[in-house]
Amino acid sequence: KTEDDIGVIAFYLPSKVTDRQLEYFENHKDNYASYTTIGAYIFRKVDDTIYTDEIYGLEMIENQMIKKNRKSEEKGHVR
């Protein structure tokens, strides 16, 4: 596709974001900026119910990834 055809990009953010995933996102952030709509889905489970949250914009997505990376590091799940 050409730059004129680029429209939507959607991400899925897992409950734990690894250093590698965060680094990949940060290294490709400039490429994602050419999209007109940038969003992410976050799934979270409370008891037996699954909730879906949607966030939009590179900055919001990156902030959530950093937050999920820190939580993972605190629990010893990252690397």
Measured distance CA(4)–CA(15) in Å, rounded:
34
pLDDT in tens, 45-70: 889 999 999 999 999 999 999 999 98
Look up residue 7 and give its DSSP letter: -
Residue 41 resides in a domain? yes
Residue 62 resides in a domain? yes
Residue 79 resides in a domain? no
Largest CA distance in the chain: 45
Residue 45 resides in a domain? yes
**Domain containing 45: what range?**
3-74
For residues 54 and 78, which has the higher predicted lDDT (pLDDT)? 54
Residue 52 neighbours by CB under 8 Å, 6+ apart? 41, 42, 43
What's the whole-number average pLDDT of the chain? 85
- 33 with 58: CB under 8 angstroms? yes
Look up residue 15 and give its DSSP letter: S
The pLDDT value recorded for residue 30 is: 92
